[in-house]
């Protein structure tokens, strides 16, 4: 796709400073740009690269205009404007509707118009696939489920319990949706499986990363509200609720029945205990362990920072006596008090 | 399925207090119950919901009978009784035996009676599938393996090395069993792969969660003993042994050659070092790092608890000097001793 | 395969002390060895087992020769020599070339000589499969990609964006390569997806573990350099670069745009922050959180060590006031200084 800078600026709703007639053919990083490139600089951090870039045009905030030798597209949110320009310049291939001959689809399914169903897809009885859906190769749906319009199951997605999905949902390969939750009752040391009977409900515009797992609810449903975004290798246990527009980075695990608020940002490889509640607008650092409910928005962290192993060994060994140290220091302070008074 | 309260109580071996003729049609949470619902209350924590429930009957311990307005089913282990009732009220669909026409099964395999093999299953030479097994769609078995009777490979399971499986094993989608362990020898900075020649042995009634990986042994076998339950996204490295009836929650990783005892409960996202030994009956908290053998039963934990990021930054920075602090306090104490003596 | 000790020693380049005519048929652990077994003892740790072994021959370092009752194969690097002997004694089945009739391969692909393509493989347009490749059952390649000669995609690998792969690459089941990175721009609380346009580049001899995910770059590429080895369930975010001959153990996550040096060894379940740089030759302990760049080689660690839960609760609670404690101790020291001066 080729756009003039002016056309592109109009499409994404930003102003042009410079040559509006120049042609843009693609997006690129500032330091890999060349003629025809559109790039972006979101903040002062990009200043060095901005000065040296060979891009034809750069999306910049007002404050960086003075440092931009290329044609500037001035945006209050350069990253967002860039996302939109990238979509225009690099549109996805138009979907060719059709059902591959190797797909195994039960007769008792409703498949709407303009749907693509790839090779080796398996869909069992009582499923509905909305219009314009893309059901990529190797995807398996073995329980009555509803896939909302324009959803894209990229490839090799497994849906093995009842799922209700909104529109424009994206699910990446290897994701497993609505497998049994980890529900066990103990009979004198022997674990007995508790039937998992709930569903998974995914709101509109939810995205689920590669190899992420979302268990079906035990009795109630597991719910991911609209606009929530899950990265790769996340584990969502049964009965969890993720609030709307919450983003969760890769490798994070959320234990059963926990409720995460709306507009949260959960860092990578965090661990969130079961049966707790996280307020709206909470941010969690990567690798943090959240063991209690959080009632106020803000950024929360845990853990220690890395150091050379020898020093760490010494410090980590001391951690085991930390409470003792606090008591010792308290004793010292009392002793000093007494000494002061004794004087 | 519909049961009278009396029939259900007899089946699960509990006593009825109230209307034994009432009809139960399904299980539900206390707060989503209605006429025909069976619910449960395991402890005082459920008291508020118990008082307000609309369930027809509730499984309760003796101590909660007085607070139960619905018909009470009195159980010493309400959760277990509920599990059993749920199985009766919501039985799994009866399996329709048969091999789908798209399955690719080598001639040199033994398939017992009443087996279901779904679409796109691949089974290579020298495999045995026991009676009543369910081999779900997309499952791939590419090495000589034995699947015990009544086992259920839900869908898209990969078995790529030799596996010996007991009866009634359940494996969820995306699980990879008997792939190569991470065995590498270093030749002047270049890694050379060490052939992985062992098997994976899964005992009776083992359950393996979605996207969990269990590597084959290097020389000996990787062993999961009977009744052990593994949640989603667990990584079991080569030569690990998991004792009977041990339950491991999601995202936990267990490094090579480690031996976990029987009846352990390992929390979510824990990390267990290689070449160590964990005693029977050990419990490990979520996100704990276990770096040394544990010889006594009990609950073990590590890490720090979350706090607001600003405070955490200050405290985490201090952790690096913790050993120094201990020494400083020791010095202070000695100084005070000297001062005391000096007096 | 059967070798005389002498032949085997010649093949792997080590000296024999003892009966060179003895026949070796297989490799085994020292304590499971019997007649015909070749075993190894890498260090003093193996001493007890070495003395009792029934192996016909054992690969040992010079210092253990005196303790070896079996025929000794003397090696400077016993583990490496053992790896090579194991490959000779247990060669992989020779590949039978051919394309299974159920594979769905686009006409516009180049498939070189002696390639195996298994059942239910899907390969879309503009892919090149090099000679001697093994494309295992259920593998899906849906974007223009280049698979270098002698590479082995064991089974059920998903390649869903453009990938350039060197020779002799091994990818284990469930791995997802070149799915979209987690790129989101925020528009007043609503996340908007940023097109992911980069590739994944895997160098020669790279190995990728089961259920590991490697995202495609946003604009630039995600790069795993030659000889790097990734274990199971690792998450590599977009634009990460992993240096040559670096080994990463299972469950580790590496956030976006981070650059890891060459010859690093990253422990299991470690977490590495985005946009940082790790020097060549760095080692990271299991479960360590690396939040800042590391500029010097060495072993780095973080976290605390496990203890019984009661003690841990007390100590973890104190961690939240660690900075306060340091300040308190400083105050005490100043007070003591003043007292000293006052004297």
Mean pLDDT of all residues belonging to chain B = 96
Mean pLDDT across C239-244: 98
Residue from B28, B33, B34, B18 nearest B73 by CA: B18
Q: Which of B162, B292, B303, B335 to mutate to test the interface with C (most CBs of C within 10 A)?
A: B303
- Quick one: pLDDT at residue B90? 96
CA distance A326 to chain C (A): 7
- Quick one: pLDDT at residue C94? 85
Instruction: Tell whether the model's pLDDT for residue B202 goes beyond 90.
Output: yes
Structure tokens that stand for B144 in this block:
């000589």
Smallest CA–CA distance from A321 into chain B, residue: B326
Instruction: Tell whether the model's pLDDT for residue B326 goes beyond 90.
Output: yes
CB-CB neighbors (< 8 A) of C208 in chain A = none
Q: Specify burial of residue B120 (Cβ count, 10 A radius: 0-12, 13-18, 19+).
A: buried
- Quickly list H helices, B147-275: none
Please count the helices (runs of H) and the strands (runs of E) in chain A.
5, 40
- Quick one: pLDDT at residue B173? 98
DSSP H or E run through B122: strand B122-123
Cα B13 to Cα A49, A187, A256, B80, B85, distances in angstroms: 74, 13, 29, 11, 10
A298-301 and B307-308 beta bridge pairing: antiparallel
CA distance A20 to chain B (A): 45
- Quick one: pLDDT at residue B35? 96
- Quick one: pLDDT at residue C342? 76
CB contact under 8 A, A219 and B329: no
Smallest CA–CA distance from A334 into chain C, residue: C332
How many residue contacts between A and B have a Cβ separation below 8 Å? 226
Q: Which of B33, B53, B306, B339 to mutate to test the interface with A (most CBs of A within 10 A)?
A: B306
Q: Phi and psi (nearest 5°) for B45?
A: -55, -25
Going from the first residue of chain A to its last (343 residues), give the mean pLDDT of each consecutive group of 10, the final group possibly shorter: 96 96 97 96 94 97 95 97 97 92 98 98 98 98 98 98 98 98 97 97 98 97 98 98 98 98 97 98 98 98 96 96 96 90 74
CB-CB neighbors (< 8 A) of A127 in chain B = none
Smallest CA–CA distance from A206 into chain C, residue: C191
pTM over 0.95: yes
- Quick one: pLDDT at residue C1? 86
Smallest CA–CA distance from B193 into chain C, residue: C83
Catalytic residue among B134, B172, B238, B245: B238
Instruction: Tell whether the model's pLDDT for residue B1 goes beyond 90.
Output: no
Q: Specify burial of residue A338 (Cβ count, 10 A radius: 0-12, 13-18, 19+).
A: exposed
Half-sphere exposure of B62 (CA within 13 A, CB side): 1
pLDDT in tens, C130-178: 999 999 999 999 999 999 999 999 999 999 999 999 999 999 999 999 9
Mean pLDDT across B58-81: 96
Instruction: Tell whether the model's pLDDT for residue B276 goes beyond 90.
Output: yes
The closest CB to that of A185, out of B80, B232, B332, belongs to B80
- Quick one: pLDDT at residue C10? 97
Mean pLDDT of all residues belonging to chain C = 96
Q: Does B134 participate in catalysis according to the annotation?
A: no
Q: Residue B137: which residues within 8 A CB-CB, separation 6 or more?
A: A104, A122, A140, A142, B100, B118, B119, B120, B121, B155, B156
Mean pLDDT across C183-191: 97
Structure tokens that stand for B84 in this block:
């059993």
Structure tokens that stand for A230 in this block:
């899950």
Cα C242 to Cα A23, A29, A286, distances in angstroms: 36, 20, 20
Confidence of residue B16 (pLDDT cuts 50, 70, 90): very high
Confidence of residue C339 (pLDDT cuts 50, 70, 90): confident
- Quick one: pLDDT at residue A341? 84
Place of tokens 């269990």: B214
The closest CB to that of B122, out of C80, C138, C250, belongs to C138
Catalytic residue among C106, C134, C172, C238: C238
CB contact under 8 A, B185 and C82: yes
Confidence of residue B343 (pLDDT cuts 50, 70, 90): low
CB-CB neighbors (< 8 A) of B38 in chain A = none
Instruction: Tell whether the model's pLDDT for residue C343 goes beyond 70.
Output: no
């Amino acid at each position: 796709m080729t756009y003039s800078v002016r056309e592109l600026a109009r499409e994404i709703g930003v102003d042009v400073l410079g040559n509006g007639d120049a042609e843009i053919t693609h997006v690129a990083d500032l330091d890999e740009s060349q003629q025809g490139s559109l790039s972006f600089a979101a903040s002062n951090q990009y200043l060095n690269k901005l000065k040296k870039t060979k891009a034809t045009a750069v999306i910049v905030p007002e404050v960086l205009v003075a440092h931009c030798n290329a044609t500037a597209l001035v945006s209050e949110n350069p990253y967002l404007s860039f996302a939109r320009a990238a979509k225009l310049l690099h549109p996805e291939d138009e979907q060719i509707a059709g059902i591959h001959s190797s797909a195994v689809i039960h007769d008792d399914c409703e498949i709407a118009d303009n749907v693509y169903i790839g090779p080796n897809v398996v869909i069992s009885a009582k499923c509905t696939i909305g219009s314009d859906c893309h059901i990529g190769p190797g995807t398996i749906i073995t329980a009555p489920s509803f896939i909302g319009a324009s959803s894209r199951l990229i490839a090799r997605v497994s849906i093995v319990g009842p799922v209700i999905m909104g529109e424009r949902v994206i699910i990446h390969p290897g994701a497993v949706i609505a497998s049994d939750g980890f529900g066990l009752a103990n009979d004198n040391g022997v674990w007995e499986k508790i039937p998992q009977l709930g569903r998974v409900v995914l709101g509109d515009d939810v995205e689920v990363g590669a190899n992420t797992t979302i268990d079906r609810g035990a009795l109630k449903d597991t719910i991911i509200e609209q606009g929530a975004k899950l990265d790769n290798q996340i584990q969502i246990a049964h009965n969890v609720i993720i609030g709307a527009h919450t983003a969760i980075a890769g490798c994070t695990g959320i234990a059963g029945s926990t409720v995460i608020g709306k507009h949260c940002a959960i860092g990578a490889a965090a661990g969130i205990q079961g049966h707790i509640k996280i307020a709206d607008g909470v941010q969690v650092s990567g690798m943090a362990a959240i063991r209690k409910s959080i009632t106020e928005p803000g950024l929360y962290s845990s853990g220690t920072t890395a150091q050379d192993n020898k020093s760490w060994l010494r410090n980590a060994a001391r951690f085991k006596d930390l409470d003792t140290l606090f008591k010792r220091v308290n004793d010292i302070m009392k002793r000093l008090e007494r000494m002061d008074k004794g004087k």
